[in-house]
Amino acid sequence: MFPTIVESLRAMFAHPIELHVAKGFGRSYGLHSKFFGKKFPGILASGLWPALNRARPLPTVAIVADVGNDLAYEAPVEKIVEWVERTLDRLATHDARVVLNNVPIESLRRVGWARYQTFREVLFPNCKLSRDEMLHRAEGLSERLAAVAATRKTPVFSGESAWYGLDPIHPKLNSAGEIWRRMLGAISGAGDVATLARPSAAMMLRYRRLRPLECAHFGLARRAEQPSLRAVDGTTISIY
């Protein structure tokens, strides 16, 4: 989805944008995370924030997503909420219009013991939480995130059960764009569902080749200068 999201943002704002992205499979907000050989710093400790502080004072929008990853690292719900609040506080210093992506709680409720065990072993093998304990924590996190969003008057979105198949946390291919259409519509300020823009094959390949400021791949530290992309229209994309 990343190439489509980038292309949609560029089309939505119709002028050069500075895009700062902290992303990575299984990314944690407060912990170093390792997923299939790639290790990233926590989002709160990443280079995203110094870069934002150095950036030109432009109108800013942000999407805070994938908060549920930290449940799989056995972080307590209170700690995860604290990390989200710190993230929102930092974005508030930039007067950012923010959208919050809640956990797909309806999908998680449908996961049985066998499917949970399988996905836990494949995606988060170090997690030892039982299915019941994970669901209990997910329920608590969902409620707390909804309360945070209400207090801050921040739009919050959660994936609908029908969007998910065997994988309970990643939407099916034909549904993957729906929540992004809603979240992008919310940050646009228009209040409508956004139209997704598909990148060309060449641009899709270029977006997928972008490298982050820092990560480790099977123990080998890697760094890449940012912005990772400078487009001819003046758009820049930095990955952290």
**pLDDT tens-digit readout, 6-23:** 999 999 887 899 999 999
- Give alpha helix (H) positions in the chain: 2-13, 48-54, 69-72, 77-92, 105-109, 113-123, 131-152, 176-188, 201-208
Q: What is the distance between the terminal CA atoms of the chain, rounded to a whole angstrom?
A: 17
For residue 159, the model assigns a pLDDT of: 87
For residue 8, the model assigns a pLDDT of: 93
Low-confidence ranges of the chain (pLDDT < 70): 190-191
For residue 104, the model assigns a pLDDT of: 94
For residue 63, the model assigns a pLDDT of: 97
The partner residues of 123 in beta bridges, in order of sequence, read none
Hey, where are the domains in the chain?
2-239
Closest CA to 124 of 238, 55, 35: 35
For residue 42, the model assigns a pLDDT of: 96
φ/ψ of residue 117, rounded to 5: -60, -40
Q: Which fold has domain 2-239?
A: Rossmann fold (3.40.50)
For residue 169, the model assigns a pLDDT of: 87
φ/ψ of residue 84, rounded to 5: -65, -45
For residue 26, the model assigns a pLDDT of: 87
For residue 14, the model assigns a pLDDT of: 78
For residue 54, the model assigns a pLDDT of: 94
For residue 50, the model assigns a pLDDT of: 97
For residue 43, the model assigns a pLDDT of: 98
φ/ψ of residue 86, rounded to 5: -65, -40
Amino acid at 84: V
